[in-house]
Every structure is written in C-alpha cells, then in structure tokens.
Structure 1
Amino acid sequence: MFRRRQSKDPFLSIHRNSTLLHQTTSQSLPPPNSFCSSSDLRYQDDSSTLDVSGEGESYHDEPMSYPEGFKDNPNDLSSEPDASFFGLSPPTTRTPPIPSTTTTSFSLETLWHNLCQGCTSLKDSPPELHKAFVLKFLDSYSYFSFSIIFTLFLSNDFGLDDVTAGTLYGAWGALITIYGLLTGFVVDNLGVAQSLKLGFILSLLARIGIFMTTSRTMLYFHVCGTLPLANCLGIPVLTTGIRRYTNEANRGFAFGLFYVIMNVAALISGPAVDVLTIWYKGDKETESEAAGSSTEEPRSWSMTSYRAIILSGIISNVLAALVSLTVREIKVDTQEEAPPPLQSSTNTKTNKPSAVIDPMIIPPSPAQGVVRTFRPRTGSPWKILRETFGLPAFRRFLLVCLIMLNVRMIFRHLDATLPKYMVREFGPDVAKGTIYSINPAIIIILVPIVTAMTSQVDPLVMMHYGSYVSAASVFILAMSTSIWACVVFVTILSLGEAIWSPRLYDYTVTVCPERREGTFMALSSAPMFLAKLPVGFLSGVLLQRYCPLTLQDGEERHSQTMWLIIGLLTASSPVLMTCCWNYISKKDSAPTTEFDGTVNYTELQQRSTME
C-alpha cells in the first residue's frame, strides 16, 4: 500500500486488484478534499512518485498496516475499494476527463444561496480587495462618461470632422494598448500599489489638461500622450490586484463582482451624460453642432455640457488618486499554513532587501489564506519577454485574443458610432446616454446570476457561445432604423456580453504565470492595438459615407448598410473560434485523466457512488 510521508492520517491507496500491491509502478490519490490542478502536479511516467509541488511532499510505494477491521469487513465502505469506485483509469490511459453528472439546480433559492456564499467568501479578504473595487468604480465612471461623448466633444468643441474625430478616438484606444505593451515590465517591477499611484496621478493631470485647453495641439498631446499612458496603468493593474487579493475559492466571484462594479459606474454615467447634454446646454444652443459642423478651432474657453461631463470625471479621478495612496503591496497566500516568520528580510551580504514574501501581522482565517507582503520578481525586459513567449499557453491565449477582436470592437462602435448615429437619425435630444445605460443595467443583473450558474463551466466554452449572441445583435440595426431597434440592439448585445466577457477575465488570469501578470496581459493586449485605430477610422468613414450630418437635395442616409458592414465584421469572431476550437482548447499537461484542474477528489467519490 501507499502511505503519505509526514502525515498523521494516512489514507488508503487505489489499485485494480491484489496483484498490484507489490508492483513498483502505481497511481496514488491526493488527500481527500484537496484540489489538484494541472499546474500543481508533475506526472512521472517512469516513477511511482507523484510530486505535489505546492507542499513539497511525495507519495511512495511503501508497505503499511491495514486499519482495524479493514480485512474483516470487505463490504464496508472503509474497505479497500476497486479503482473504478473513484472513476479512475489506468496510469497509461490518457482519455478526456469525465464530465460531471451532477445536476445543477437553477432555482431562485439556489441562486440566492450561491450569491450569499460568494459574498461571504469575500468577508475576510484584505482591505486592498475592497479598495480595488472602489478604484474600479471611480476609474470606470471617469472612463465611460468621457468615452460616450468623446467623438461628440471633439466635433462640437474643437470642430473636427467625422473621420478625424473617429481616427483620434481609435488612436486613444490603440495607444492605451501599445503603452501597456511597453510598460508591462514596469508594472512587474513596480508592483500593483506603485503602478496604481502613478496611473491615477497621470490620469488626473491628463483630464485637467483636456478640460482646460482650447488648443488642438494640447488636446492631441493629452489624448495621445498622458491619458492613454494613465489608462494602461488602470484596468490591467487592477485585474492583477484582484488576483493577488483573492484565493482560488473566491477568485471567480471576486472577478464577477469586479465586472459588475464597472457596469454600475457605466450605468450612472449614461443618465449623467443625458442630464448635462440635454437639460444643460452650457454656452451652446443645440447639440447639432456635435456632428462636425464647425471647422474652426475655438478661440475662447467656455463651459460646455461636454466639459461639465469631463469635470465630473476629474472629481472622480481625485478621489481615486487619494484611495490609491493607501494601497499596500500584498498577496493572499493560499497555502493552509504559513511558513515560519523570517528572521530578517534583508540580505546580510549585500544589505539589500531579499526577494521574499514576508508574513503580515494579522492573518485571516485559514480558509481565506494568509495575507503577506508581496515583492515583485524583477528582471530585464528581454528576459521577461523571452520567458513569456516561450509559454505554449501564452501562444494559445494570444490566438484567442486575436479571434475575439471583432466581437470586442463592437463596444468601440457603441461609443464612437452609436451616439452620432442616434443624434443624426433621431435629433439632438435623443436619450443616447439612457439607451447606452441599458447595457450596464443588464450586466449588473445577469453577471452574478450567470457566474453563479456557470462557475464550473470552462471559460472558453462561455466565451464561444456568448460571442455568437453578441454578434447577432448588430443585425437588428441592419434591419430597422428606429429607437426601438437601438434598444433591442443594446439589450441583445448585453445578454451576450454577460455570458462571455466576465469569463474572459477569468480565462486571462488563469493562464497568467504569477509575478509576470503585467507583461502577460500587456502582450495579450497587443492585438487590440492592431484593431482600435482602424475601427476608429472605419467608424468615421462609415458615418460620413452612410450617415452624414447634412444631406443634399434628394440624398438619403443608408444607416442600415453601415450596420450590416459592422455586423458582418463582428460575426467573424465566433465563426473563427469554432474553426480553431481544437487548438485553443488544448491543455498544456494532464498529470492524470481525472485530476486536470476541473474536479477534485470528493467530486470523484460522489460521482462514482452515484454510478
């Protein structure tokens, strides 16, 4: 039999029959109620040792005594069972994992229980997790309130035409990506806390500059310089922070809540835009000027409705900068027991801090993990890039990001194309912000429910089907030009987003190696750089060609053709994912056919018992 070294409660090994008792090559199980993922195990074909890297212990083929009564009662559940009792295959068999046969209940009582359980799992989390949620809300409000009126602001206050405004909008998004690519190693070296401080201070300076200036030169400087640089230190860094402030048990729910908070901010920003652009006109008579009728640079500063919206974002940014100053560089250690405290965190030979994790003063409960100070692993940019590109998981993840580009780009059209489309088709007083807020309202309601229902479903599967739903939404606008078509479009788009978008966060952090999250996420965002600038330019061209501001005698708008083109581009994402499914769904390794990171020992017991 097998015995676990350094264990007070040895457990029984699994074997096919009694002839396997004295064989040197066998398969052993991890302790009950443990969770083994493909990244935690190393399968050795030529040895009977299965090393659990997280604990530094091995399982060896050694004789041990039977518990009392074991041989005398073979029918008792404590007796030595056959391997099929646990649903295990022989070590040489590498078949796909057996899907769970348990039935998921979708009753309201179950949903409420799952939501309460998720909230309870965050109860003992460190304060940094709650600060990350606050920062996410403040940063998201500043971002969404500005992005809704971005192209309108450029045309109204600076006299830019559709193509120029759309291109500048695309450049802003593209530069967020390219700056993130260039600064990924900076995030890895600085850590989450310092990166957040730097990002929010830069964002504050950029928004104040845009709010105060009347010069196109200064506008271009902030839109293409300081603002995207600040943005690239926002969402990606907060995503990394959520990973470090949670454990495996509550991480999925934390990311779902993280996504909901972002949409709460977007929900508030929509009505705020309507209030300040419809009810408060500032120094402008009508909003029709927002479509690009002016060609001259403004000569004097005035408090327009769009500048008032930017001012509200500045206030939010000030609060975020203050909160970021209190964030510590920590990490939740998911090990059950903390290692012994270090005698010193300083290298006595070099008199420099050692690259170690020091224990905090007050650890939370064992179920939540031990909170420790976290020191980033430093390294040269070339070394970090070489390590990242060498990972097969990263190459597959990069392909997934490329495939999802077009379906993600529909949200750029939601900001850059839809507002001007509604202003020109339905008049300057159309409730564009309220229609926009349908999206976050649905996300707030559905994301927790969908997350609770599908937490055991692979993220790629959810992304696959959800992208089909989002892509189908665009064709509603290709069939009808009406306010109700806009409402239905945003509604269906939101249903698809609730399915796939939160799981994209989950998928991203799952494949990221620890201490290389900044570089990994920055590199994975590189395809976005290839798409945002063309999408912004395409938005301006399509508006100018099919939905112009002014019409000549006998000329008509062809907005449905514009949305048909956008819809066909969007639909390419789910189709390509279907074609490439066999490659992108591959796993790097499979230590055993059962313990692939999706099921645990207890689930196997329950499954086999039911069979």
Structure 2
Amino acid sequence: MLQKFKGFTRAFWTANIVELLERAAYYGVFIVITLYLSRILGFSDMEAGLISGVFSGGLYLLPTFTGALADKIGFKYSLIIAFSLLTLGYFGLGVLPSILESMGLVDYSGDITFTGIVESAQRWAIVPIMLVLMIGGSFIKSVITGTVAKETSEANRAQGFSIFYMMVNIGAFSGKTIVKPLRDSMGDLGYVYINYFSAAMTLLGLIMIVAFYKSAKHTGEGKTFGEIWAGLIKVCTNGRLITLILIITGFWMVQHQLYATMPKYVLRMAGENASPSWYANVNPLTVVLTVAFITRMMASKTPLFSMTVGMFIMPLSAIAMASGNWFGHAEIDLGFISMHPIALMMIAGIVLQGLAESFISPRFLQFFSLQAPKGEEGMYLGFSHLHSFISSVLGFGLSGYLLSKYCPEPKLFETREAWEAASVNAHFIWYYFAAIALVSAISLIIYGKVIKKLDAKNA
C-alpha cells in the first residue's frame, strides 16, 4: 500500500495536504452559508440565495483568469496569496456578527434577536468579505491541479490525480461533518464559529505552503488575460458548445440545491434536530463508491449515452426529495435508527444525485473536448465549467424565490399554525427542479440527434 505513495515530490504532497485543509474549510462554511446569511445576518431567502449564488458562480468563472496570473507570478506566491485571502475572509465571516452586535443591530445572547440589522446597510459588509474568499478560492482551483500535473510524470500522473481526488473528498467530508456537533452545542451561533474553524484550517495551509512548498516558480508561462478573454468570447459564440453548456446547466441547477435549498428545507420541515450537513455527505460518498463501477460499465457506450442516463436520473432525484412530504410527520423506524420522512427521502434523493453525477461528470469533459475545434481543445476546456457559473447564479437565485414562496422562514409568522398553512405545499419546490432536470434530459437527446445529423452532413 505504501509503495503506491512513493515517488512523489514534497511539493506534490504539500499541495495535496493543503487541498484537504482548504476543502474542509470551504465545505464546512458553504454547506450552511445560506443559513448563516439568514439566521445570523438577517438576509431574506432571496437575498441569501443571490449572495451565495454569485459567490459560488465566481469560484467557477475566475479560476481561468487567476490561473493565468498564477502562471506569471509562480505557484508558490499564488498559493501564499490564496491562503492569506482565505484566512482573512473566513476570519471576517466570524468577526462580522460581533461587529454588528456591538453596533446594537442584533443580540446573539440567548435566542438571536434582530434589533435593526434587517433594515441596516451595515450587514452588506458581507459582500467584500465574500469577494475576498472568492478571489482566494479561485487561485486554489487552478494552482493545486496545476501542481499535481507539473509534479508528476506520465508514469505516475494517474495515481497522482487519484490521490488528489481522495484528498478533496476527505476534506469535503470532514468539513461538513464538524457542523452538526457545533450546532448541537452552540445552536445557531455554530454557524458563526464554523468560520473560525475554517480560518484555522487555511492558516495552517498557509504555514505549510511557506515552510514546505518548494516547486519551481514557472514565471512567465501561460496565456495573457487578453488571450483568455478572446477564448471566452470564442466559446460563447460557438453555437454547439454554448448549447451543450446551457443543457448541462439544468443538471447542475438541481445539483446545487444540495447547498441552496436542502439545508433550510430540512430544518424547517423536519425540525431543528435534522442534520443537513451530514445528509450532504451522502453525495460524495455515493460518487466515490459508484463512479469507478459506472465508468467501467459505460466504457463501451458513447459519452452522450452515459450523460443522458444520468440526466434522466435527476428528475427522479428531485421527485424523491419531494416525496418526503407525502408521508406525514411520524418518524419512520428503520430498525437501527428512526428518521423523519423528509430527512429519509432527502437522503434517497441525494443518493440518486450521486448516481447521476457518476454517469455525467467523468464523461462530460470528454464529450465537451470532442465538440471543440481541432487544436483548440485545451483552451476550450478551460471554460468547460461555464455551466457551473450559470447554474450557481440561476440555481441559488431560484432557490431563494421558491423557499420564500413555498417554505418560508417560520420566524416570519406569529403562530406555528400560520406557518404550517403557508408551507403546506413546500414540496412543490422540488417539482420545479424535477421539471428543469427533465427538460434538460430531453434537450440532451435532441442535441445528440442534431449534432449527429450535422456531422454526417459535413463528413
């Protein structure tokens, strides 16, 4: 077993360990970011969705540009900038509530009481803090993967990226897991103190980068910002590629509800004892357990066929999430544990999401590269995650609207009965996402038939 891990440089191991720390920091905060924005800072569901969506979208759009800067100034300096910004950003998220409380806008002692924060412009100080996190995080995505590529050879590159993928998932799992104990011991203030955990993780990463990262500087490599911008315009004016991006956006709009809608939905519908951060861990667990098998099973099929199978699983996922509201409110005894039906069916839906991702994600980049002009595959793949930018903004924005319409914040109502009447159709939220997923799946079939005819005509 240990033999497999030999032959890698110190820079490789440092990059992978700090990736684990950064992923733990990110997912610990991001799984509850909409809850933090609403319960701690008093933002409405729609405002919280907009802020979270722009933040998430920026993390997918900016890496191509910050990656170009990293090639110019060197990976080590880029990582120092990244982890410094992340540490400042997470610390800022932790400190901001205390500053607002000192201004008399909110009282965090006992039950959280808003005493002016909802009407105050001061809470929008969250925006520059999120921008700092966005820029810092965008460096990570390009530099860590670039380090893995540069610090491995053809002989051990596959093993190197396998280690990287393992580190990402360990980090994601551990970050989400710590939220539940914090919330159990501190209530909603746990959403504040998780930021100090994340700041500590990224500070540790910064120290490791300064002390141990000795990779080559790589100064002056890569494309200019002008070349990257020209490439973005070229992709956006390529009808075949932009159509594919828009279709796959439907899949990711549903997938993003793991962070946009699910945490608030289960806490409001299944009760404060629900564990949305733990439910979210079911997704990476499912992917890790199934992706290798599904990829082998689909090896003889075209990428489009595998993607289409996954796309048709997504509506079933959303329907499963909606179905928890069909079974009443009595706990379901599973023998080893009792669960609220909302929570149980949410987990079932998340499992189906993970299966869909295993069919789609490994084959999307392969299929996307085949649609790019010959000789320009690398540049086009740099923008292959445009769908995640679009789906973050649209998915989180739609989530905020649907939550406020069908599953509003209980504290907005004078009585429990009034809230129950307002949220009786809360499960309708998932019907919207089921419809989006189904339209995307059908569109992918049509897309495949159209490009097949076009390719035959041009042959």
TM range (shorter): 0.7 to 0.9
Distance in 2 between the 1:490 and 1:141 partners? 20
Classify 1:539/1:391 alpha carbon distance in 2 versus 1 (closer, same or farther; 3 Å).
Answer: closer
Task: Provide the residue aligned with 2:22 in structure 1.
Answer: 139
Task: Provide the residue aligned with 1:488 in structure 2.
Answer: 348
Please show how residues 190-201 of structure 1 align to structure 2 within 5 Å: 190-201=73-84
Task: Provide the residue aligned with 2:225 in structure 1.
Answer: 381
Query: Any conservation in 2 of the 1:409–1:532 contact (CA below 8 Å)?
Result: yes
Structure 1 position 166 matched with structure 2 position 49: yes
Q: For residue 573 of structure 1, what is the amino acid of its counterpart? A: S
Task: Provide the residue aligned with 1:560 in structure 2.
Answer: 427
Distance in 1 between the 2:65 and 2:33 partners? 25
Classify 1:521/1:165 alpha carbon distance in 2 versus 1 (closer, same or farther; 3 Å).
Answer: same
Query: Any conservation in 1 of the 2:82–2:136 contact (CA below 8 Å)?
Result: yes
Structure 1 position 543 matched with structure 2 position 403: yes
Q: TM-score, normalised by structure 1?
A: 0.58
Query: Any conservation in 1 of the 2:291–2:358 contact (CA below 8 Å)?
Result: yes
Distance in 2 between the 1:217 and 1:196 partners? 28
Task: Provide the residue aligned with 1:313 in structure 2.
Answer: 198
Cα deviation per residue 1:254-308 (whole Å; 9 max; x = unaligned)?
A: 4444334322222223331111112x12xx5xx5xxxxxxxxxxxxxxxx21122
Match among 120, 127, 131 for residue 220 of structure 1: 127
Classify 1:268/1:502 alpha carbon distance in 2 versus 1 (closer, same or farther; 3 Å).
Answer: farther
How many angstroms does 1:461 deviate by? Answer: 5.0
Distance in 1 between the 2:313 and 2:260 partners? 21
How many angstroms does 1:206 deviate by? Answer: 0.9
Cα deviation per residue 1:158-192 (whole Å; 9 max; x = unaligned)?
A: 11221111111112113334434553532343344
Q: Percent identical across equivalent pairs?
A: 21
Please show how residues 170-249 of structure 1 align to structure 2 within 5 Å: 170-180=53-63, 182-214=65-97, 215=100, 216-223=123-130, 225-248=131-154
Question: Structure 1 stretches of 5 or more lacking a match?
Answer: 1-115, 288-303, 331-372, 589-611
Match among 161, 180, 187 for residue 274 of structure 1: 180
Query: Any conservation in 2 of the 1:277–1:305 contact (CA below 8 Å)?
Result: yes
Q: TM-score, normalised by structure 2?
A: 0.76
Question: Which SS does the other structure have where 2:192 is aligned?
Answer: helix
Task: Provide the residue aligned with 2:446 in structure 1.
Answer: 579
Task: Provide the residue aligned with 1:157 in structure 2.
Answer: 40
Cα deviation per residue 1:326-375 (whole Å; 9 max; x = unaligned)?
A: 33445xxxxxxxxxxxxxxxxxxxxxxxxxxxxxxxxxxxxxxxxxx855
Task: Provide the residue aligned with 2:385 in structure 1.
Answer: 525
* Larger proportion of helix: 2
Please show how residues 104-143 of structure 1 align to structure 2 within 5 Å: 123-143=6-26
Query: Any conservation in 1 of the 2:93–2:126 contact (CA below 8 Å)?
Result: yes
Question: Which SS does the other structure have where 2:408 is aligned?
Answer: coil
Query: Any conservation in 2 of the 1:199–1:234 contact (CA below 8 Å)?
Result: yes
Question: Which SS does the other structure have where 1:478 is aligned?
Answer: helix
Structure 1 position 327 matched with structure 2 position 220: no
Distance in 2 between the 1:407 and 1:179 partners? 21
How many angstroms does 1:417 deviate by? Answer: 0.6
Please show how residues 377-526 of structure 1 align to structure 2 within 5 Å: 377-386=221-230, 399-450=243-294, 461-481=305-325, 482=341, 483-504=343-364, 523-526=383-386
RMSD of equivalent CA atoms? 3.7
Distance in 2 between the 1:375 and 1:456 partners? 42
Distance in 2 between the 1:209 and 1:235 partners? 22
Classify 1:309/1:509 alpha carbon distance in 2 versus 1 (closer, same or farther; 3 Å).
Answer: farther
Cα deviation per residue 1:524-583 (whole Å; 9 max; x = unaligned)?
A: 334433332232221111111111233528544212211010111123333333222367
Distance in 1 between the 2:147 and 2:425 partners? 46
Distance in 1 between the 2:275 and 2:57 partners? 28
Structure 1 position 264 matched with structure 2 position 108: no
Query: Any conservation in 2 of the 1:174–1:533 contact (CA below 8 Å)?
Result: yes
Classify 1:581/1:516 alpha carbon distance in 2 versus 1 (closer, same or farther; 3 Å).
Answer: closer
Structure ID, larger Rg: 1
How many angstroms does 1:122 deviate by? Answer: 6.0
Distance in 2 between the 1:573 and 1:318 partners? 41
Distance in 1 between the 2:149 and 2:14 partners? 14
Distance in 2 between the 1:531 and 1:233 partners? 21
Task: Provide the residue aligned with 1:605 in structure 2.
Answer: none
Between 127-136 and 549-558, the greater mean CA deviation after superposition: 549-558
Distance in 1 between the 2:10 and 2:244 partners? 34
Q: For residue 309 of structure 2, what is the amino acid of its counterpart? A: Y
Query: Any conservation in 2 of the 1:388–1:394 contact (CA below 8 Å)?
Result: no
Distance in 1 between the 2:237 and 2:9 partners? 30
Distance in 1 between the 2:167 and 2:305 partners? 24
Q: For residue 213 of structure 1, what is the amino acid of its counterpart? A: L
Distance in 2 between the 1:499 and 1:409 partners? 17
Classify 1:155/1:506 alpha carbon distance in 2 versus 1 (closer, same or farther; 3 Å).
Answer: same
Cα deviation per residue 1:81-112 (whole Å; 9 max; x = unaligned)?
A: xxxxxxxxxxxxxxxxxxxxxxxxxxxxxxxx
Question: Which SS does the other structure have where 2:196 is aligned?
Answer: helix
Query: Any conservation in 2 of the 1:246–1:254 contact (CA below 8 Å)?
Result: yes
Query: Any conservation in 1 of the 2:24–2:176 contact (CA below 8 Å)?
Result: no
Distance in 2 between the 1:435 and 1:196 partners? 31
Task: Provide the residue aligned with 2:116 in structure 1.
Answer: none
How many angstroms does 1:451 deviate by? Answer: 5.3
Structure 1 position 569 matched with structure 2 position 429: no
Distance in 1 between the 2:377 and 2:125 partners? 35
Classify 1:323/1:247 alpha carbon distance in 2 versus 1 (closer, same or farther; 3 Å).
Answer: same
Task: Provide the residue aligned with 2:109 in structure 1.
Answer: none
Query: Any conservation in 2 of the 1:126–1:245 contact (CA below 8 Å)?
Result: yes
Classify 1:328/1:402 alpha carbon distance in 2 versus 1 (closer, same or farther; 3 Å).
Answer: farther
How many angstroms does 1:585 deviate by? Answer: 8.4
Classify 1:152/1:126 alpha carbon distance in 2 versus 1 (closer, same or farther; 3 Å).
Answer: same
Distance in 1 between the 2:239 and 2:218 partners? 28
Between 424-433 and 546-555, the greater mean CA deviation after superposition: 546-555
Distance in 2 between the 1:563 and 1:532 partners? 17
Question: Which SS does the other structure have where 2:424 is aligned?
Answer: coil
